[in-house]
Every structure is written in structure tokens, then in C-alpha cells.
């Protein structure tokens, strides 16, 4: 069974995977695997980016997203005439001929990774570059997104060749058995810079304790006065900062977004 | 299935080439562009002597078998087949050759459209215009624009001086000199502190004894640095230049646990995705920040006193300035905080962290190095390194000319390609020249004065003290012609040539209004009758070409039979053959072929092409290179690429400035004293009254022109009351300078463009939430940025990544003129200062200047549509933006 394993934490947002996918499929017809992708508007591989935090504690997470080639694929169920099928290697393919006119295939995907081609009236999505895998005459035999990645963030292969322990999938609650695994998906953070307003000095070694209903996270401020509480669940937190008897306490929510708390005076 | 053919290419946007990239074609059409396995034509054993390996703490870093082209190269199919390609020669519809102002319609440049003409007609026009101008005014009235600089990676077929090669055969030309664009501050400032630097001239630090090459800097950093300061280095952006290598370097530094800090007005593309501390700083206030740091070092005894004693001079003068003895104002962290927007506690933390941890500085040519008075922050940057023992293990400057990981035996420098067939005339002196920054002024006033050639490489620092003037002196021209004739054994001329003002502009890199400074003013200058004919050679119909009278179609690098390797910013440098992947698109020719073809009209073709075919040129370039020491032509030709072997003991070579560190007497700098000069006697002697670039770096605010100031571009002058935002105009992530703005696969990436409610894809204005709110600006709004130089339309992108009181606009978006001084395309350099770095430094200042931003009201927008209907009626395809159809009248 083929799987994708994506180490999103190491993704740097170069979009080479997204470009490679377009380069392979826009204007190139790989029937019977896929009709040509329109030049713009479809993203069979898309780098999803999200700006997180507030000045000066700002990060951007990049998450390459593609068809999950689900073991329990809603698109297959929605399709008539076996227009969506699973290959022996696990890749889920839309048959462009059989799928003509079947817009419900697009709507069936909870991940929104199937696109409707208005002109050809077909649903389209990632094929895992099955045409490259199958054809010995082609110069490469891996998905283009993987081939274009300079950091090996995206890997593709047999499930048993990977250690999938601790890996996550997007939206497990959809219960579609995705075959795209993420080594680690982005989680929330709370960060800040702690300083002494009187001395106009940062405070190193302050203990920061964040508590929510589900538990506690702790950090110590570094030589910049900074703390980064990372990999936090979405929750309502009480953040307490302490050094040498000086204290500060803040109510912080990560329910909606990450929190960069800026410069926090400890008086 | 049909056969797939693969060629190897070096796709990049500069003369130093790009990573080996495989281009698959089928039936003469590009199927895909992809990374290449470098063990395809060689075994691993054969490759081994060419591959480096760095091992620190048991962690290994080495080049990957799969090459790592960047997104620019990987998306290049878009550029080749762009709807914006010039496929046939174009003539502006209401321009007539002949120099008659009544028939030139000069004021319509950038407004009236083009018609396609045949090559025969185009050549007739070029020939007749050249003859007319030469006969009427003399050959120096032809200015050849676009010497060197960024273009596609080509060798024999490269542009950037082929017109000059031809004009040289026709009696001469005015040379447009490229000003030191990527290194302005280093060039005008730091050279007076630590000497000529990389390529003997760029001002980025480099040792004299290696011919100004900094080798092994990466190795030294990996082994010895604990911390890296990125002050204008954005590796996840500048990887768009040649390869993804610097991104791989980042990954290794992270693996080694290097602490990294980014001091930048923008939380840049590197800072947002790596473990890195971001210190937001107001644009062009770095000198103040640095003085605050130096104050902390001085008062807390946190610098290398012994080094300062033995390796530097005039330290005491800087101490007096910083401590306030000179002007009564100590440059405390609180003083600095007020100016640079960084809290005093963070300035102090920065000072202590840098002093206590072995720190190198990473610089990649953006930020304060391209600002008004950029010589100041560049010099204070040099002071920081000097006070921490520049050259000490792990204390280096990792810059764009120091990024070769391991020296090859046959390497000529850290940047030079291994083979060169290029016939462009570059860096040759000419009896009349003009800095690129002063063409507008020369056209408008008929004169110009400057100091220094300013040739960016292989130039003595002292040349900056030499005065130059336009128009040139005919007797000087005669002397130069005589010297050249003597050198080449030709008949010695006795009569002084005619040297007149320029009247024919010919550009092989038509983007001055967008790559360089004062763009709107440049447009004004081109719209005068002083310009009788403006010819451009270009692949795409964009920027300066929209203002041309004649546009000649050029091939892309995938269409030429050429050679090109990679000699900078790749994991391993190579030499390579780049045979055509596809046929020439349309009727395009390479710049070399254009020069030869025009040369034929004047009977000088053989002087240019020497009667040789492309294959002969390529073989000749190989045979005259040092590659022959390691591989023979037949093998090279068969394999198509070659990685030169490394020096056997490359790791033993002194890294960066180590020799100077260890023995400054034996390995001096090329400064007048041979040491680091905190205060320069040479500047004091030559420009005693220059209050902008004084002998020592200071915090320079500038002021009104009537008081003799070049700039008033800070929050401490008068103009900020009207224009209260500081502009950061960085290189773009989704272009390289102006190249690639039409790539549709980039334009749909959310950080590339902002879709306005009119459906137009505007260049993003990155603005902090506080500044947006104060102006009633919402995400996606069509906004205008303006100052007295003009107005550019943009799309609002509200972001926490931007320092307050500043805005970020990536430079290089294509111009899309609505009217004089009003542009829709987002080309931000249209409103940057046009009066150079400072009084004696005629480089450009393209970032760190004042402007104001406002939401475009419906009324205003409708008013423009009413007043300039033609501009809004031009064809527009959101996928690629403006394109050939927008400007060419279909027959």
C-alpha cells in the first residue's frame, strides 16, 4: 500500500512541490490517468500557509496538502460507474472518461482536494503521478511533488517502509482512513519577551507556566528574555511568569489562534 | 508512446548560472523541468573527488545526488511559453525613425501601442537610425544600456553588452555603467573600512591575498559559530537566484543547533519557518541600532580589545562619537531604541548575545545596504565585526560572494564560471560613460557629474575620489582611442571624435525604471525629444520596452545552443553544455545573433562572430578554459556536464578573513593603513566637506536640499510629516528582481499577488494591522502608495510580519502605466528616490524611504478610468497580468 509521509515541520514554503505538480499536469494530458489540468485554479498539491502569532513572535506554518488517497474514500462512494477506483497499490484515481459530468465527486470530498474542470466537465485531482510510476519510459518514477522537494519533506512509498508511529493525518474525525501521513502537524504556541521595565533589561531565567484544563506547559526565558511554549492544544490558558519574586499573570486563549504576547513587563 | 528527449540546462537569472536542471521535451515541446541526478553520466566514485563533506558533532552535510533547482527554474515553462513573449520585432505605432520631433511622438512613449514588423524592416530601421545618429552626432550619442547584471543564464548568447560589442566596431558608444546595486552600502562605505572586498570592489569583506576570494566561510561557520545574525539575509527567498542550496544550509545549521537572529523590518521568509529570533527594526535605522550595541560593548567591556589594538586604527574616534564626546549625545541603547524602534532591553540583549557567543553575520543584499546613506549602516556593520575579531574562528561575513563551499583546483574565483564564451563587452572603459542612476538627469539637464566609474568589480577604492563628467571630453576620447588602437596594433587615430550628448538609447536589459531608481523620473526623461530612438532587445514585452520605439525579440535560455554552468550559490559548481531544448520561439534571436545580424549591415559581422559557428565557440571556450586540465573535449561533450575536482586539502585553506586575523602584518587589508579603519584619512582628505559620508560612520538624518542634503527620508526630518511610513522594498520571492512576474503558477500563490475587487492582481502592500487600521484599510483593498514622486497602486495584505510604521513591497513587479507618475502594476521603484545614495556616491537608494498609503476610493478609481480610458481598456489576463496583447495592435 502506497502512502505519502510529509514532514511538514521542515517545510520551508518554497512551493516547489506545488510547482512540480503544475509542471507535470498543466498542459500535459496523461490519459488514461488524467486529463490535462487547467493552467490555473486547481491545486492537486497545495502548500497551505498560515501566519501565526503577533509581532515580534511570528511564524508561518506550511502544510503541503493533496488528495489523501483514502482507504475509505467518500469520492469512490459518490462516483457512479466505478468512475473513481483504487489501484492495487492504493492510489485512488478518477477515470476522466467515466467521471464526465459527475460533479458530485467533487462535493463528496471533505478535504476539498477534488476540483471541477468546467471546460471538460470532469472532476480532477492528484493521481500520485501514477503515470510516472507505471511507465518505464519516463525518466522518473516518483510523484513530481516529491521529486521537486530539496529537503525530502515529501516522501512516497510502501507503508511498511516507513515508521508511521506518532504520525498524524488531517482531520481524523472524517474517518476516511487517509494514506497521507504527517510526521507532525502544526500546533498552537504562546510566546513572549519578558523584561524589567525599570532596569530596561530582558529577564533571563524566568519560569513561565501555562495551565489549562488539559494540563500544564512550562518554559524558561532565554538570553533574549524569550519563551516559546509550543505544541499546545487549543485551550484557554493562565500564563504565570515568575523570577526573583516578581510575577505576572495573563489569561491567554489559543482557541482561535497562536499568541505572540510581545514584550511583557515583570515588575 | 512518443520519445522523451532530455537536455540539461542551467536556468537562472544571472550570469553565474544555475543548478543543473533536466528539461524533458516531446515533439519539440517542453513536457517538464525537473531536478537531475548528478550520477547519471558519472559513477559515484568518479564524482567523489568533486564532492565536499562537512561533518560537525557527528552530523554530516554533503551535496545530494539529486540537484536542487529552485522554483524559478522549475516553473520556467511559463516563461518560455508566456503570453508576454515578444515573437516578432515590434515598432511603436506612432514613432517614425529619422529624428524629426514632429514624427517621434516622444511624449507617447509608454502610452501608444506597437505593431509587429518583419525582421527586414526592423533591421532597416536599426541600420538607418544608427547611421543617422553616428553621422549627425557621432557614435558616442548611442548609449548601450544594460552592461552585465541580471539576465538569463547564458554564455555565448547572453545579453548585457552585445550592442556594445557591435558599437565598438562602429566607432564607439556611451557606456552605461551598472552601479553597485546589490552592495551599495558596502561599496560606498565598508570599502573605506576594510578594503575593496569580494571581486576586488564589491565591498563585502574578502582577503586580499587570495585575489579577494573568501573560501571556506561555510565550513568555518559550521565548525565554530554559535550564533548567526541575519541582517539583510533571507535565504528562503534568495534561493530563487541559483538553487535551493542555502535552504539546505539552513536545515543543517538548525540541525547543528546554531542560534539564529533576524534583524529586519520584515519577518522574512527565512525567519517565519526556522527557529529564529526576529527583531523588527524600522527600515534604514540599522546604524542607530549598531551604535546602541557598540555603546553596550564599550560600557560593559564586551569586545575584543587586543584585536582592536592590533588590527584597527582610529578606534578612539568612534568611541568618542558613541560615548557622546564629539556631539554631546551618548549613543545609548535608549537613544538607539528611539530611532530604530527596537526596545532598549532587546538592543542590550543582542549586544550581549553577540559578544558572548561566537557570531557570524549573514548578508544577502537587501535591507539597509540599498538605502539613502547606505554607507552608514554598512560601515557600522563592519564596525560590529571588527570589534568582535573579524576572521576569528566562527566570526565571518557569509555573503553572496563567499558561498562556494569548497574550492575547486581550477577555480578562478568564488563567482567566475569555468568556461566563458560570452562576447558581451562589459567593464570596458569608454571615453564617455554614465552611471545607470544618472541617465535621466543626463537626458534632462544635458550634464552629469560623479565620482568613481562606478565600476562594480575590479576597481581601486581610490577611484571613488576621481571626478567624472558628462558629456565627455573629445580629447580624452581621442587619447583613449589611441591607446586602444596601439594596444590592438591598429592604425592610430589623430583626430578627436565627435562626443555629443546621447540621443539613441539601446538596452539589452530593459528594466531600468523598475530595477533601478527614480523610475517615474526615468520615464519622464525617456518621453522627451532628446531621445530620438529607443531600441530594446528583450524576451518579454515589459517595463522599459513599453517605452521603446523598437523592440527586438530575444530567445530564452532554453532555445539557444550554448554552454553554461553554475559558479555561485549551488551545492557543487559545474561546467555544462546547454544545447537547445526547443526551437526558437517566434522569430526570436539571441542578443549575440542580433548583434551579428546588425553587424552584417555594417560589414562587421566577422569582427563579432569571427566566422565561427555556435559549436566552434563553445568548443573554443572549453579549450581555452582550465577544464582541459581535467577532462577532454570529447568526454565533456558526451557527458554534457562536469564537476571540477576539489583541491585535495581544501579544508586546510584559511577560511574567510582568518589570515588577517592571525597575522595582519603579513596579510594586510588593502586599506591605506592595511588595517580596519574606523575613521578614514582618505575620505577626510578627498571629501573634507562631505557631511553625508564623513570619514567615519554616523547616524545621518539628512535634511532639506537647500541646506545641502541629498535626502530627507527619515522620521526626524520634515517630509515624514507628510509621508509617515518607511518603505521596505526587498527582492521578491516570486520573481527575481523583475524576472518572472508573468509566471501564472506563482501569481496564484497567496503571498504573490492580491486580487482587487476589479479582478486585477495587484502587487501586495504588506502593512501592519495598526497602520492599516489607522487608514481604514482592509485586507484585499486596492490601495495607493505615494510621495511627491508619484503614485503606485497595490493590494493590501495586512500582516503581523511587518514592523509598525513601515510597509513592505517586493520590488520588481512590472510597470503598467495609467498616466505619467501613476502606475497600476506595482513597480515600487517608480517612487523611490532618484538622487542616489549621497552627494559623492552615485549608486541607487531603492529602499528605506518615505511614503504614505491610502485606500483607493471608488470615486478616485472611477476618475482614473474616466481620465485614462486607454490604460484601463488594455487587455488584461489575471493569470499572467499584462501581456503582449495589451500592447500590440493586432493586424
Residues B388 and B263 in one domain: yes
Residue B484's pLDDT band (boundaries 50, 70, 90)? confident
For residues A177 and A48, membership in a common domain is answered with: yes
pLDDT score recorded for residue B431:
86
Chain A, 142 to 181: residues with Cβ < 8 Å from chain B are 144, 147-148, 150-151
Q: pTM, whole model, 2 decimals? A: 0.97
Q: Same domain, yes or no, for A72 and A148?
A: yes
pLDDT band at B2; cut points 50, 70, 90: confident
Contact (CB<8Å) A54/B801: no
The cell for B73 is 527554474
> Same domain for B208 and B141?
no
Name, in order, each residue with C-beta under 8 angstroms of A199's C-beta and a sequence gap of 6 or more.
Answer: none
Together in a domain, B74 and B47: yes
Going by C-beta distance under 8 Å and a sequence separation of 6 or more, which residues neighbour residue B268? B230, B234, B236, B237, B262, B730, B801
Residues B82-109, mean pLDDT to the nearest whole number: 98
> Is the domain of A100 the same as that of A31?
yes
Report the gap between the CA of A77 and the closest CA in chain B (Å). 31
Q: Between chains, do A200 and B348 touch, taking CB under 8 Å as contact? A: yes
What phi and psi, each to the nearest 5 degrees, are found at residue B783? -125, 165
Backbone φ and ψ of B479, nearest 5°: -60, -40
* Nearest-CB residue to A200 (from B344, B746, B750): B344
Q: Which of B32, B229, B347 to mutate to test the interface with A (most CBs of A within 10 A)?
A: B32
Query: Which residues in chain A touch residue B31, judged by CB atoms under 8 angstroms apart?
Result: 28
Residue A40 and residue B745: Cβ atoms within 8 Å? yes
Cell match 561599496: residue?
B187
| Number of domains making up chain A | 2
Contact A39 B346 (CB under 8 A): no
> Which of the four pLDDT bands, split at 50, 70 and 90, describes residue B428?
confident
B777 and B817 in one domain?
Answer: yes
Cβ neighbours of A23 in B, within 8 Å? 32-34, 74-75, 77, 745
pLDDT score at B516:
96
Give the distance, in angstroms, between the CA of residue B303 and the centroid of all CA atoms in the same chain. 34
Please give the average per-residue pLDDT across B67-84, as a whole number: 98
Structural domain total, chain B: 4
Q: Does residue A136 sit in the same domain as residue A209?
A: no
Q: Same domain for B458 and B596?
A: yes
Residue B410, chain A, CB below 8 Å: the answer is no
pLDDT reported for residue B375: 98
Is the pLDDT confidence value at A210 over 90? Answer: yes
Q: Is the ipTM of this complex over 0.90?
A: yes
CATH assignment of the domain containing A80: 3.30.70.20
Q: Which of A13, A62, A147 sits opposite B34 (nearest CB)?
A: A147
Model confidence at B506, in pLDDT bands (50, 70, 90)?
Answer: very high
The answer to whether B436 and B516 have CB atoms below 8 angstroms apart is yes
- The pLDDT tens digits of the residues spanning B536-546 come to 999 999 999 99
Question: Does residue A239 sit in the same domain as residue A173?
Answer: no
- Rounded to whole angstroms, the Cα distance separating B560 from B514 reads 27
| pLDDT greater at residue A176 or residue B479 | A176
| Residue B143, in any domain of the structure | yes
Measured between CB atoms, does B277 come within 8 Å of chain A? yes
Contact A14 B244 (CB under 8 A): yes
Q: How far apart are CA B562 and CA B576, in angstroms?
A: 9
- Report residue B500 CA to chain centroid gap: 30
**Residues in A 16-75 with any Cβ partner in B closer than 8 A:** 16, 18-20, 22-24, 26-28, 39-41, 47, 49, 51, 53-62
Residues B329 and B404 occupy one common structural domain: yes
CATH code where residue B152 lies:
3.40.50.740
The helix or strand, by DSSP H or E, that contains position B448, with its residue range, turns out to be strand B448-451
Cβ distance B748 to A53 less than 8 Å, yes or no, reads no
A130 plus A236 within the same structural domain: no
Backbone φ, ψ for residue B528 (5° rounding): -105, 165
CB nearest A55 (choices: B70, B280, B350): B280
The whole domain housing A193 covers 188-265
**Could you tell me if residue B481 is inside a domain?**
yes
Give the rounded percent of residues in chain B with a pLDDT score beyond 90.
93
Tell me the residue length of chain B: 891
C-alpha grid cell, residue B390: 573579524
B127 in helix, strand or coil?
helix
Which B residues, 20 through 39, put their C-beta within 8 Å of a C-beta on chain A? 22, 24, 31-35
Query: Which pLDDT value is given to residue B280?
Result: 98
Which of A23, A135, A202 lies nearest to residue B32, judging by beta carbons?
A: A23
CA nearest neighbour of B91 among B62, B61, B114:
B114
A48 and A120 together in one domain: yes
- The CATH number assigned to the domain holding B312 equals 3.40.228.10
- Same domain, residue pair B167 and B254: no
In a domain, B655, yes or no: no
Average pLDDT of every residue of chain B: 96
Please list every residue in chain B whose beta carbon sits closer than 8 Å to the beta carbon of residue A47. Answer: 749
Does one domain contain both B494 and B609? yes
pLDDT in tens, B211-241: 999 999 999 999 999 999 998 889 999 999 9
Residue B413 in any domain: the answer is: no
Nearest Cα neighbor of B646 from B571, B585, B720, B713 is B571
A-B CB pairs within 8 A amount to 151
Residue B569 lies in a domain: no
Q: Which of B248, B345, B804 has the CB atom closest to A195's CB atom?
A: B345
Same domain, B673 and B717: no
Helices (H), chain A: 16-25, 74-78, 104-108, 130-134, 144-148
My answer on whether B741 and B839 are in the same domain is yes
Q: Which CATH number belongs to the domain containing residue A245 in this structure?
A: 2.60.40.10
Instruction: Tell me the average pLDDT across B770-782.
Output: 98
Can you read off the three cell numbers belonging to residue B357? 557567543
Residue B883: inside a domain: yes
**A23 and A65 part of one domain:** yes
Where among B21, B46, B80 does a domain terminate? B80
What is the distance of C-alpha B271 from the center of its chain?
22
Mean pLDDT within B310-326: 98
**Is the dihedral angle over the CA atoms B69, B70, B74, B79 positive or is it negative?**
negative
Reply yes or no on whether the pLDDT at B32 is more than 60: yes
Task: Flag whether B254 is in a domain.
Answer: yes
> Which residues are paired to B817 by β-bridges?
B823
Domain end marker among A182, A210, A242: A182
Q: Do A200 and A174 have their domain in common?
A: no
In this predicted model, what pLDDT tens digit does every residue of A123-149 receive, in sequence order? 999 999 999 999 999 999 999 999 999
B359 interfacial to chain A (CB closer than 8 Å): no
Strands (E), B153-205: 174-177
CA separation for the pair A262, A206 (Å, rounded): 15
- Do residue B677 and residue B810 come from a single domain? no
Task: Confirm whether B863 is domain-assigned.
Answer: yes
Which of B247, B333, B744 lies closest to A40 in CB terms?
Answer: B744
Domain-terminating residue out of B19, B45, B80: B80
B267 vs A137: CB contact, 8 Å cut-off? Answer: no
C-alpha cell at B34: 525537473
A73 with A106, same domain? Answer: yes
Question: Does B736 share its domain with B870?
Answer: yes
The mean per-residue pLDDT over the stretch A42-50 comes to: 98
Q: If pLDDT is split at 50, 70 and 90, which confidence band does B1 have? A: low
> How far is residue B246 CA from its own chain's centroid?
18
Average pLDDT over residues B89-108: 98
Shared domain for A111 and A155, answered yes or no, is yes
Whether residue A215 sits in one domain with residue A152:
no
Domain region containing B820: 705-887
Q: Which one of A161, A182, A203 terminates a domain? A: A182
A261: nearest Cα among A57, A103, A66: A57
> B421, exposed or middle or buried, with CB in 10 Å at 0-12, 13-18, 19+?
buried
Domain boundary (A154, A182, A210) is at A182
Amino acid at each position: 500500500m502506497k502512502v505519502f509521509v510529509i514532514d511538514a515541520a521542515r517545510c520551508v514554503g518554497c512551493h516547489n512541490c506545488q510547482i512540480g505538480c503544475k509542471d507535470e499536469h498543466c498542459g500535459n494530458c496523461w490519459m488514461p490517468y488524467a486529463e490535462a489540468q487547467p493552467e490555473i485554479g486547481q491545486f492537486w498539491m497545495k502548500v497551505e500557509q498560515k501566519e501565526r502569532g503577533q509581532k515580534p513572535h511570528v511564524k508561518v506554518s506550511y502544510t503541503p496538502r493533496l488528495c489523501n488517497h483514502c482507504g475509505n474514500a467518500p469520492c469512490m462512494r459518490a462516483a457512479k460507474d466505478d468512475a473513481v477506483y483504487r489501484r492495487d497499490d492504493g492510489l485512488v484515481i478518477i477515470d476522466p472518461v467515466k467521471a464526465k459530468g459527475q460533479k458530485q465527486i467533487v462535493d463528496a470530498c471533505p478535504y476539498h482536494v477534488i476540483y471541477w474542470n468546467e471546460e471538460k466537465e470532469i472532476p480532477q485531482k492528484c493521481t500520485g503521478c501514477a503515470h510516472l510510476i507505471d511507465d518505464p519510459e519516463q525518466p522518473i518514477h516518483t510523484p513530481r511533488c516529491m521529486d521537486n522537494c530539496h529537503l525530502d519533506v515529501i516522501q512516497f512509498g510502501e507503508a511498511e517502509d516507513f515508521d508511521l508511529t506518532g504520525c498524524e493525518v488531517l482531520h481524523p474525525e472524517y474517518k476516511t482512513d487517509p494514506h497521507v501521513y504527517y510526521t507532525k502537524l502544526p500546533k498552537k504556541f504562546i510566546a513572549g519577551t519578558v523584561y524589567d521595565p525599570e532596569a530596561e533589561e530582558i529577564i533571563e531565567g524566568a519560569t513561565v507556566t501555562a495551565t489549562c484544563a488539559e494540563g500544564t506547559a512550562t518554559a524558561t526565558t532565554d538570553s533574549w528574555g524569550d519563551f516559546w511554549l509550543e505544541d499546545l492544544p487549543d485551550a484557554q490558558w493562565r500564563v504565570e511568569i515568575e523570577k526573583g519574586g516578581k510575577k505576572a499573570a495573563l489569561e491567554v486563549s489559543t482557541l482561535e489562534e497562536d499568541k505572540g504576547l510581545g514584550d511583557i513587563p515583570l515588575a | 508512446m512518443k520519445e522523451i528527449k532530455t537536455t540539461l540546462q542551467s536556468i537562472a537569472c544571472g550570469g553565474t548560472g544555475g543548478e543543473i536542471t533536466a528539461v524533458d521535451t516531446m515533439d519539440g515541446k517542453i513536457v517538464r523541468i525537473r531536478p537531475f541526478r548528478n550520477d547519471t553520466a558519472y559513477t559515484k566514485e568518479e564524482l567523489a573527488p568533486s564532492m565536499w563533506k562537512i561533518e560537525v558533532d557527528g552530523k554530516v552535510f554533503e551535496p545530494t545526488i539529486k540537484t536542487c533547482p529552485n522554483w524559478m527554474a522549475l516553473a520556467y515553462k511559463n516563461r518560455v511559453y508566456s503570453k508576454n513573449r515578444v515573437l516578432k520585432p515590434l515598432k511603436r505605432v506612432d514613432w517614425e525613425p529619422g529624428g524629426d520631433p514632429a514624427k517621434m511622438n516622444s511624449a507617447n512613449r509608454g502610452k501608444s501601442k506597437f505593431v509587429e514588423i518583419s525582421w527586414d524592416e526592423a533591421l532597416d530601421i536599426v541600420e538607418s537610425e544608427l547611421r543617422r545618429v553616428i553621422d549627425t552626432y557621432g557614435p558616442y550619442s548611442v548609449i548601450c544600456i544594460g552592461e552585465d547584471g541580471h539576465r538569463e543564464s547564458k554564455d555565448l548568447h547572453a545579453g548585457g553588452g552585445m550592442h556594445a560589442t557591435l558599437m565598438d566596431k562602429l566607432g564607439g558608444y556611451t557606456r552605461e555603467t551598472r552601479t553597485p546595486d546589490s552592495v551599495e552600502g558596502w561599496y560606498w562605505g565598508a570599502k573605506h573600512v576594510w578594503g575593496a572586498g569580494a571581486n576586488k570592489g564589491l565591498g563585502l569583506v574578502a582577503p586580499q591575498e587570495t585575489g579577494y576570494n573568501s573560501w571556506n566561510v561555510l565550513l568555518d561557520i559550521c565548525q565554530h559559530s554559535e550564533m548567526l545574525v541575519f541582517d539583510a539575509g533571507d535565504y528562503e527567498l534568495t534561493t530563487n537566484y541559483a538553487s535551493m542550496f542555502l535552504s539546505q544550509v539552513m536545515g543543517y545549521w538548525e540541525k547543528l543547533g546554531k542560534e539564529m537572529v533576524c534583524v529586519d523590518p520584515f519577518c522574512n521568509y527565512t525567519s517565519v519557518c526556522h527557529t529564529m529570533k526576529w527583531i523588527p527594526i524600522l527600515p534604514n535605522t540599522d546604524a542607530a541600532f549598531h551604535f546602541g550595541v557598540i555603546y553596550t560593548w564599550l560600557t560593559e567591556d564586551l569586545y575584543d580589545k587586543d584585536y582592536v589594538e592590533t588590527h584597527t586604527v582610529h578606534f578612539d574616534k568612534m568611541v568618542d562619537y558613541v560615548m557622546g564626546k564629539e556631539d554631546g549625545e551618548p549613543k545609548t541603547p535608549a537613544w538607539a531604541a528611539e530611532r530604530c524602534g527596537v526596545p532598549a532591553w532587546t538592543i542590550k540583549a543582542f549586544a550581549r548575545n553577540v559578544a558572548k557567543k561566537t557570531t557570524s553575520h549573514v548578508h544577502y543584499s537587501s535591507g539597509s545596504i540599498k538605502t539613502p546613506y547606505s554607507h552608514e549602516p554598512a560601515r557600522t556593520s563592519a564596525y560590529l565585526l571588527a570589534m568582535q575579531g573579524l576572521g576569528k574562528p566562527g566570526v565571518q561575513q557569509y555573503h553572496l560572494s563567499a558561498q562556494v563551499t569548497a574550492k575547486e583546483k581550477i577555480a578562478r574565483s568564488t563567482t567566475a564560471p569555468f568556461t566563458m564564451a560570452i562576447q558581451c563587452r562589459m567593464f570596458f572603459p569608454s571615453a564617455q560613460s554614465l552611471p545607470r542612476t544618472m541617465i535621466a538627469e543626463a537626458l534632462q539637464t544635458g550634464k552629469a557629474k560623479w565620482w568613481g566609474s562606478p565600476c562594480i568589480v575590479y576597481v581601486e577604492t581610490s577611484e571613488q575620489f576621481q571626478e567624472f563628467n558628462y558629456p565627455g571630453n573629445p580629447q580624452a576620447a581621442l587619447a583613449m582611442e589611441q591607446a586602444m588602437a596601439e594596444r590592438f596594433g591598429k592604425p592610430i587615430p589623430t583626430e578627436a571624435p565627435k562626443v555629443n550628448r546621447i540621443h539613441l538609447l539601446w538596452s539589452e536589459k530593459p528594466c531600468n525604471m523598475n530595477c533601478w531608481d527614480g523610475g517615474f523620473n526615468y520615464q519622464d526623461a525617456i518621453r522627451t525629444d532628446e531621445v530620438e530612438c529607443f531600441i530594446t532587445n528583450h524576451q518579454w514585452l515589459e517595463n522599459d520596452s513599453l517605452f521603446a520605439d523598437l523592440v527586438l525579440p530575444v530567445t530564452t535560455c532554453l532555445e539557444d545552443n550554448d554552454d553554461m554552468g553554475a559558479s555561485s550559490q549551488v551545492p557543487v559548481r559545474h561546467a555544462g553544455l546547454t544545447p537547445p531544448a526547443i526551437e526558437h520561439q517566434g522569430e526570436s534571436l539571441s542578443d549575440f545573433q542580433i548583434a551579428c545580424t546588425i553587424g552584417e549591415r555594417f560589414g562587421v559581422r566577422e569582427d563579432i562572430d569571427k566566422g565561427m559557428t555556435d559549436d566552434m565557440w563553445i568548443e573554443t571556450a572549453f579549450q581555452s578554459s582550465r577544464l582541459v586540465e581535467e577532462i577532454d573535449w570529447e568526454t565533456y561533450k558526451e557527458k554534457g556536464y562536469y564537476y571540477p575536482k576539489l583541491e585535495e586539502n581544501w579544508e586546510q585553506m584559511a577560511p574567510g578573513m582568518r589570515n588577517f586575523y592571525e597575522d595582519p602584518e603579513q596579510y594586510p587589508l588593502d586599506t591605506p593603513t592595511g588595517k580596519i579603519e574606523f575613521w578614514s584619512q582618505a575620505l577626510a582628505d578627498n571629501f573634507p566637506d562631505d557631511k553625508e559620508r564623513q570619514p567615519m560612520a554616523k547616524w545621518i538624518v539628512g535634511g532639506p536640499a537647500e541646506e545641502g542634503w541629498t535626502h530627507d527620508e527619515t522620521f526626524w526630518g520634515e517630509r515624514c510629516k507628510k509621508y509617515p511610513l518607511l518603505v521596505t522594498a526587498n527582492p521578491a520571492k516570486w520573481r527575481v528582481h523583475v524576472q518572472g512576474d508573468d509566471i501564472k503558477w506563482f501569481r496564484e500563490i497567496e503571498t504573490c499577488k492580491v486580487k482587487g475587487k476589479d479582478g486585477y492582481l495587484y502587487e501586495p502592500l504588506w502593512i501592519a494591522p495598526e497602520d492599516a487600521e489607522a487608514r481604514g484599510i482592509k485586507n484585499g483593498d486596492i490601495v495607493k502608495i505615494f510621495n511627491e514622486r508619484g503614485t503606485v497602486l497595490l493590494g493590501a495584505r495586512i500582516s503581523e510580519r511587518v514592523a509598525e510604521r513601515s510597509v513592505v513591497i517586493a520590488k520588481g513587479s512590472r510597470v503598467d502605466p495609467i498616466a505619467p507618475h501613476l502606475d497600476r502594476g506595482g513597480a515600487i521603484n517608480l517612487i523611490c528616490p532618484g538622487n542616489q545614495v549621497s552627494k559623492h556616491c552615485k549608486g541607487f537608494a531603492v529602499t528605506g524611504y518615505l511614503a504614505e498609503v491610502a485606500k483607493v476610493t471608488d470615486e478616485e478609481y472611477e476618475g482614473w478610468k474616466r481620465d485614462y480610458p486607454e490604460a484601463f481598456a488594455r487587455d488584461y489576463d489575471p493569470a499572467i497580468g499584462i501581456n503582449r496583447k495589451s500592447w500590440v495592435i493586432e493586424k
